[in-house]
Structure 1
Amino acid sequence: MNFENLKPQVISILSEEHVERDVKLKNLCQFLSDNVDYYNWVGFYFANQDNRTLHLGPYVGAETDHTVIPFGKGICGQVAESNANFVVPDVSAQDNYIACSFTVKSEIVVPLFVDGVNIGQIDIDSHVIDPFTEADERFLEFVNEQVAKLF
């Protein structure tokens, strides 16, 4: 996968004028899902630091019951506390995993920072075991750097 080719379109989607932030984020999720064949669920969670919970934002993919996730719970909740990327090659081998669907085989979560504060994350599920590489991490860090400009 050549992520460099996707970067200009990411910037274009996020810089559209007269488009609300959540619509831009939903369009970005759709773009990522459409252009990376193993990105089967793409969405954002945003942190409520007071309640120490994550709240589901724009996403594309199967419906999820996980609209609120406590810090520390599941992969997303762990990233909210660690402030570090988390790549799960095989979700069945992960103890603190919140199952969304039996079709999900792997997951990557990359925190979203604004002014040094972790305000949320991009979460991607795949129906493939172990598809995520360091290139995915670097690309999603780039995506989040662009998203951060919206806040």
Structure 2
Amino acid sequence: MTFEQLKPQIDAITSNKTHVDERLLEICKLLEKHVDHYNWVGFYFRNGNKEELKLGPYVGAPTDHTIIPFGKGICGQVAVSNQNFVVPDVNAQDNYIACSITVKAEIVIPIFVNGANIGQIDIDSNTPDPFTKEDERFLEFVTQKVSEILS
């Protein structure tokens, strides 16, 4: 399924009136099912006023990384930089927190509400260097839709 075909489904999920976590989980399921190189899809959010991220809804292999300090790993770096982070080869990253030996690449896109970075979508891939500019633009669309249900 193409990203353009997924956009209306993202719209439908985010406009649903179910609990926010249920909608976020539905987004994770949709992306993991329909994008072949998305093997783990999840959300991390700022943990209150702490300088750390807390794992939210996700699909994929269980992870021990339920709390990530700002600055640590790819997700922690995005919490500080406020920038997208595309990692074509996780083994080339000094500050990578390994979740699984099968993960080859990662993409993390921040979520902003009223200009503040409140979380991110994190996607791991078991395929080396799979992420394109199209993935990045599509995931920016997803995070914009998510920010609307969180604001």
Report Cα offsets for 1:74-132 as digits up to 9, x if no partner: 00000000000000000011100000000000000000000100000000000000000
State the partner residue of 1:109: 108
Report Cα offsets for 1:15-54 as digits up to 9, x if no partner: 113x110000001100000010000000000013621000
* SS across alignment from 2:149: coil
Query: C-alpha separation between the residues in 2 aligned to 1:2 and 1:26?
Result: 20
> Match for 2:11: what amino acid?
I
Query: Aligned Cα RMSD in Å?
Result: 1.0
Q: How many residues align?
A: 150
Query: C-alpha separation between the residues in 1 aligned to 2:138 and 2:131?
Result: 11
Query: C-alpha separation between the residues in 1 aligned to 2:64 and 2:143?
Result: 24
Query: C-alpha separation between the residues in 1 aligned to 2:49 and 2:24?
Result: 24
State the partner residue of 1:78: 77
* SS across alignment from 2:54: strand
Q: 1:1-151 residue pairs with structure 2 within 5 A?
A: 2-17=2-17, 19-48=18-47, 50-151=49-150
> Match for 1:136: what amino acid?
D
* SS across alignment from 1:6: helix
Give every structure 1 segment of 4 or more consecutive aligned residues whose post-TM-superposition deviation is greater than 3 Å.
Answer: none
Query: C-alpha separation between the residues in 1 aligned to 2:48 and 2:117?
Result: 9
Query: C-alpha separation between the residues in 2 aligned to 1:48 and 1:2?
Result: 33
TM-score (norm 1): 0.97
TM-score (norm 2): 0.97
* SS across alignment from 1:69: strand
Query: C-alpha separation between the residues in 1 aligned to 2:40 and 2:2?
Result: 20
